[in-house]
């Protein structure tokens, strides 16, 4: 497990990247210009939001958990970002700190519930989603508060849209996250502990891994990544809105699964999940280019994920 | 079930029978207690606000509003007993709701026939889940997440805009607004459950939920049992969709979405163990009523409705934590 790519997963990760490339080729065929550099970077930019959420989801799925609190942690983060910064550059740093802190706190509560109170991850994160939804709606008065109409600070908007070396800045951030997360998972003690817990928590405990702390930390990271995606999304769109987090639960889990991370935990890596995010976003873009109505996209989404699962997501008989 | 028999043997050596019964049914008992407390809380709140106790009207509307959730929770219970989870509930409820709004036009025989067809479509949707989980050996959570997307898409295809209509007679039959006659359907459901519980499938549900490898070794067909659980679940979600349409007297292809989450909440509050093998229909129905009562209490406490999901989420966590603690105390710390 010291290698960046555990051997069993190389094929799955490659498959996810091949799927992404194939989708770009199909897109170019049905809609010339789809695979142009500008179009690819804009698709990758959209994929980066999914990818960031998927990083957090990947962490908790690797230990056999799941984070269903993504939609409203992300949404609450987006709202907190605009209301605390009031669109002022001078308050941007403070707002970012506050927002990431909120994400970390929500993640900590998830982890604490799972580890110390024995609440199943599905229930804990589901309840947290409700709690964040209630807080976000209640405190913002259903997005009617005066501060709610604020825009993201220009610095944040710039940080998403500005182009460095031909690539939007948010994409650089994602690339950095991919590198750091892959390094952490593949080459650090923390990463090994994560895989060990996912494979067998009891064995990991007996081998001296601090299972409780590691688990809590992984949920905290998931909360932080959801909040980070929320910040970048308001930077991307300018304003926060209700329901903006909803698509990200399905997409983050789908990206992780497409990328070959076992939903039971213990195997897979973030390179795969990142590829999953790209192929998922490319798929949506192709369907949009085909003028596919909403319901059709929803159906095809589900069918594609099932097909991929049947191809390589099957449980091994043990 | 072997594990229950051994647990029973151990327990009788140490503790009297009553204590054992209490331990085995702690989830159900806890659910009944929470339900009782929430009813008392609601009645008290109502009395403070209105100067009288809630009567027939409140009972009827509570029962009618709870019917779809109670049925969805029953379906979810089937799946959860096998150590699975069904996230496609909302999609199947949506689909049944949309089909009901389009197809139901009047005429008793016609209505019955169409209702049966819709329930069969729900069962078929559940069968797809079951085949993917049982035969395809895929993880329930991802399978049903994917099929949720598919069923939601189909529902919107059937009924792009909220609308359609449900005959008035249909509403009167399923959710009579004057008397809580809908309770009869819950009694039927519980009777059905008692039969199922003793059937081959019912025994299989509990057996594979407790210990799948042992169950298989003892000759339980795990694949068939899982397929059965998801199929029955699908049929029940479709019935929930019919009740939802009857309640609203019209269709909407998205109102069912919330039942994915609330059915899990109801099941957990009803003492059904999410790790499989423990739970009951009565518990799930109690859980559904608790969920409705919480909303009622929040309403009468004049809590800003925007905060509703905050309190629901908080209540869910507290209930699970406290329930776990009490369960451990009752079963006796080892």
Q: Tell me how far apart the alpha carbons of residues A83 and A77 are, in angstroms, rounded to a whole number.
A: 10
- With beta carbons under 8 A apart, name residues in chain A contacting B264: 122-123, 126
Burial label for B14, CB within 10 Å (0-12, 13-18, 19+), is exposed
| Element of type H or E holding B162 | none
Task: Give the tens place of pLDDT for each residue, B28-74.
Answer: 888 888 899 988 988 888 888 888 888 888 888 888 889 999 999 99
Tokens 């905060």 found at: B307
Closest by CA position to B137, among listed B200, B75, B215, B227 = B227
Task: Give the tens place of pLDDT for each residue, A74-91.
Answer: 999 999 988 888 877 778
Q: Nearest C-alpha of chain A: how many angstroms from B309?
A: 5
| Element of type H or E holding B285 | helix B281-300
- pTM comes to 0.85
Residue A200 has which token pair? 């067998």
Contact A81, A51 (CB under 8 A): no
Q: Tell me how far apart the alpha carbons of residues B93 and B205 are, in angstroms, rounded to a whole number.
A: 23
Q: How many CA atoms lie within 13 A of A126 on its CB side?
A: 21
pLDDT at B267: 92
Reduce the secondary structure of chain A to three states and give it as a string: CCCCCCHHHHHHHHHHHHHHHHHHHHHHHHCCCCCCHHHHHHHHHHHHHHHHHHHHHHHHHHCCCCCCCHHHHHHHHHHHHHHHHCCCHHHHHHHHHHHHHHHHHHHHHHHHHHHHCCCCHHHHHHHHHHHHHHHHHHHCCCCCCHHHHCCCCHHHHHHHHCEECCEEHHHHHHHHHHHHHHHHHHHCHHHHHHHHHHHCHHHHHHCCCCHHHHHHHHHHHHHHHHHHHHHHHHHHHCCCCCCCCHHHHHHHHHHHHHCCCCCCCCCCCHHHHHHHHHHHHHHHHHHHHCCCCHHHHHHHHHHHHHHHHHHHCCCCCC
pLDDT at B171: 83
Q: Alpha helices of B25-55 — where are they, by DSSP H?
A: 26-50
Indicate if the alpha-carbon torsion angle B45, B49, B54, B58 is positive or negative: negative
Q: What is the mean pLDDT of residues B218-222?
A: 88
Task: Give the tens place of pLDDT for each residue, A80-135.
Answer: 988 888 877 778 788 889 899 999 999 999 999 999 988 888 889 988 998 999 89
pLDDT at A10: 74
Please check the confidence at residue A317 and state whether its pLDDT lies above 60: no
Task: Give the tens place of pLDDT for each residue, B282-310.
Answer: 999 999 999 888 888 888 888 888 888 88
Do A302 and B153 make contact, defined as CB atoms within 8 angstroms?
Answer: yes
Phi-psi region of B106 (alpha: psi -120 to 50; beta: other; left: phi over 0): left
| Bridge partners of residue A163, in order along the sequence | A168
The residue in chain A having the minimum alpha-carbon distance to the alpha carbon of residue B319 is A119
Q: Which residues, numbered 10 to 29 in chain B, qualify as contacts with chain A under a Cβ-Cβ cut-off of 8 Å?
A: none
- With beta carbons under 8 A apart, name residues in chain A contacting B274: 120, 122-123
Q: Nearest C-alpha of chain B: how many angstroms from A242?
A: 12
pLDDT at A312: 67
Q: Cα–Cα distances in Å, from B231 out to A185, B5, B123, B221, B266? A: 40, 29, 5, 15, 20
Instruction: Identify the residue with better confidence: A296 or A311.
Output: A296
Which of A66, A119, A138 lies closest to B310 in CB terms? A138
Q: Nearest C-alpha of chain A: how many angstroms from B178?
A: 33
The residue in chain A having the minimum alpha-carbon distance to the alpha carbon of residue B253 is A295
Q: For chains A and B, what is the number of CB pairs under 8 angstroms?
A: 148
The residue in chain A having the minimum alpha-carbon distance to the alpha carbon of residue B254 is A295
Cβ count near B205 (within 10 Å):
30
Q: Nearest C-alpha of chain A: how many angstroms from B258?
A: 12
Do A313 and B139 make contact, defined as CB atoms within 8 angstroms?
Answer: yes
pLDDT at A318: 39
Reduce the secondary structure of A100-150 to three states and give it as a string: HHHHHHHHHHHHHHHHHCCCCHHHHHHHHHHHHHHHHHHHCCCCCCHHHHC
Instruction: Identify the residue with better confidence: A6 or B179.
Output: B179
Do A299 and B154 make contact, defined as CB atoms within 8 angstroms?
Answer: yes
Q: Tell me how far apart the alpha carbons of residues A216 and A60 are, in angstroms, rounded to a whole number.
A: 10
Do A122 and B264 make contact, defined as CB atoms within 8 angstroms?
Answer: yes
Do A128 and B313 make contact, defined as CB atoms within 8 angstroms?
Answer: yes
Q: Which residues, numbered 266 to 305 in chain B, qualify as contacts with chain A under a Cβ-Cβ cut-off of 8 Å?
A: 268, 274-275, 304
The predicted complex's ipTM stands at 0.82
The residue in chain B having the minimum alpha-carbon distance to the alpha carbon of residue A265 is B139
Q: Nearest C-alpha of chain B: how many angstroms from A124?
A: 6
Instruction: Identify the residue with better confidence: A138 or A143.
Output: A138
DSSP state of B258: G
Q: How many CA atoms lie within 13 A of B257 on its CB side?
A: 11
Q: What is the mean pLDDT of residues A211-216?
A: 90
Do A138 and B316 make contact, defined as CB atoms within 8 angstroms?
Answer: no
Three-point CA angle B188, B189, B194, nearest 5°: 95
The residue in chain B having the minimum alpha-carbon distance to the alpha carbon of residue A132 is B310
Cβ count near A30 (within 10 Å):
11
Q: Tell me how far apart the alpha carbons of residues B175 and A236 are, in angstroms, rounded to a whole number.
A: 47
Mutate to test the interface with B, among A67, A110, A131 (most CBs of B within 10 A): A131
Tokens 């989404």 found at: A301
Q: Nearest C-alpha of chain B: how many angstroms from A48?
A: 22
Q: What is the mean pLDDT of residues B236-253?
A: 90
Q: Nearest C-alpha of chain B: how many angstroms from A167?
A: 33
The residue in chain B having the minimum alpha-carbon distance to the alpha carbon of residue A120 is B274
Terminal Cα distance for chain B, rounded: 23
Do B139 and A315 make contact, defined as CB atoms within 8 angstroms?
Answer: yes
Percent of chain B with pLDDT over 90: 34
Do B139 and A263 make contact, defined as CB atoms within 8 angstroms?
Answer: yes
Tokens 């169409």 found at: B114
Contact B238, B251 (CB under 8 A): no
Do B146 and A309 make contact, defined as CB atoms within 8 angstroms?
Answer: yes
Q: What is the mean pLDDT of residues A201-223?
A: 88
pLDDT at B5: 54
Terminal Cα distance for chain A, rounded: 21
- How far from the centroid of its chain's Cα atoms is residue A299's Cα? 22
pLDDT at B129: 94
Please check the confidence at residue A12 and state whether its pLDDT lies above 50: yes
3-class SS of residue B42: helix
Q: CB-based contact (8 Å) between B265 and chain A? A: yes
Q: Tell me how far apart the alpha carbons of residues A273 and A255 are, in angstroms, rounded to a whole number.
A: 5
pLDDT at A57: 92
3-class SS of residue B251: strand
Please check the confidence at residue A315 and state whether its pLDDT lies above 80: no
Tokens 């994160």 found at: A125
pLDDT at A1: 43
Q: What is the mean pLDDT of residues A268-296?
A: 85
- With beta carbons under 8 A apart, name residues in chain A contacting B324: 117-119
Confidence of residue B20 (pLDDT cuts 50, 70, 90): low
Do A118 and B156 make contact, defined as CB atoms within 8 angstroms?
Answer: no
Do A142 and B139 make contact, defined as CB atoms within 8 angstroms?
Answer: no
Do A264 and B143 make contact, defined as CB atoms within 8 angstroms?
Answer: no
Please check the confidence at residue A178 and state whether its pLDDT lies above 60: yes
């Amino acid at each position: 497990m010291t290698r960046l790519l555990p051997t069993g997963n190389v094929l799955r990760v490659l498959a996810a990247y091949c799927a992404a490339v194939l989708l770009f080729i199909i897109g170019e065929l049905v809609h010339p210009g789809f695979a142009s550099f500008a179009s690819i970077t804009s698709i990758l930019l959209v994929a980066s939001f999914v990818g960031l959420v998927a990083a957090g989801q990947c962490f908790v799925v690797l230990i056999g958990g799941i984070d269903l609190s993504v939609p409203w942690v992300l949404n609450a983060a987006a709202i907190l970002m605009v209301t605390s910064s009031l669109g002022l550059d001078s308050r941007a740093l403070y707002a970012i700190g506050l927002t990431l802190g909120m994400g970390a706190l929500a993640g900590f509560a998830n982890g604490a519930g799972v580890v110390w109170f024995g609440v199943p991850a599905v229930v804990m994160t589901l309840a947290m989603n409700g709690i964040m939804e209630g807080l976000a709606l209640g405190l913002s008065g259903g997005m009617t508060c005066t501060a709610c109409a604020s825009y993201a600070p220009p610095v944040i908007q710039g940080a998403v849209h500005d182009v460095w070396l031909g690539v939007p800045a948010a994409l650089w951030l994602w690339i950095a996250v991919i590198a750091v997360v892959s390094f952490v998972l593949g080459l650090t003690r923390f990463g090994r502990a994560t895989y060990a817990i996912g494979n067998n928590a009891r064995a990991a405990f007996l081998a001296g891994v601090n299972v409780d702390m590691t688990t809590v930390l992984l949920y905290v990271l998931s909360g932080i990544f959801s909040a980070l995606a929320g910040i970048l999304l308001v930077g991307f769109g300018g304003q926060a809105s209700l329901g903006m987090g909803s698509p990200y639960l399905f997409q983050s889990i789908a990206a992780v699964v497409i990328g070959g991370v076992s939903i039971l935990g213990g195997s897979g890596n973030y390179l795969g999940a990142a590829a999953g995010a790209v192929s998922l976003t490319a798929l949506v873009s192709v369907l949009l280019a085909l003028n596919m109505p909403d319901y059709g996209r929803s159906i095809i989404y589900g069918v594609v994920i099932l097909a991929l699962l049947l191809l390589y997501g099957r449980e091994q008989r043990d | 079930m072997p594990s229950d028999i051994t647990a029973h043997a151990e327990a009788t050596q140490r503790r009297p029978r009553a204590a054992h019964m209490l331990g085995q049914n702690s989830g159900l008992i806890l659910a009944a207690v929470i339900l009782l407390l929430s009813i008392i809380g609601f009645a008290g709140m109502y009395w403070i606000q209105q100067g009288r106790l809630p009567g027939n009207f409140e009972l009827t509307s509570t029962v009618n509003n709870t019917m779809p959730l109670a049925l969805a929770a029953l379906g979810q219970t089937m799946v959860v007993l096998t150590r699975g989870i069904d996230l496609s509930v909302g999609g199947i409820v949506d689909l049944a709701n949309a089909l009901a709004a389009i197809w139901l036009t009047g005429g008793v025989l016609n209505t019955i026939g169409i209702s049966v067809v819709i329930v069969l479509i729900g069962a078929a949707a559940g069968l797809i889940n079951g085949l993917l989980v049982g035969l395809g050996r895929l993880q329930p959570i991802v399978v049903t997440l994917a099929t949720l997307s598919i069923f939601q898409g189909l529902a919107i295809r059937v009924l792009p805009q909220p609308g359609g209509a449900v005959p008035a007679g249909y509403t009167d039959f399923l959710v009579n607004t004057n008397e809580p006659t809908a309770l009869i359907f819950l009694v039927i459901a519980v009777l059905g459950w008692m039969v199922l519980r003793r059937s081959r499938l019912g025994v299989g549900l509990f057996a594979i939920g407790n210990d799948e490898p042992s169950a298989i070794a003892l000759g339980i067909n795990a694949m068939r049992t899982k397929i059965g659980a998801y199929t029955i679940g699908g049929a029940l979600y479709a019935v929930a969709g019919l009740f939802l349409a009857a309640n609203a007297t019209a269709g909407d292809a998205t109102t069912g979405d919330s039942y994915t989450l609330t059915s899990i909440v109801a099941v957990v509050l009803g003492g059904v163990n999410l790790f499989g093998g423990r739970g009951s229909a009565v518990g799930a129905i109690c859980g559904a009523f608790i969920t409705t009562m919480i909303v009622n209490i929040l309403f009468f406490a004049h809590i800003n409705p925007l905060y509703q999901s905050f309190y629901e989420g908080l209540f869910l966590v507290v209930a699970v934590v406290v329930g776990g603690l009490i369960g451990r105390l009752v079963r006796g710390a080892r």
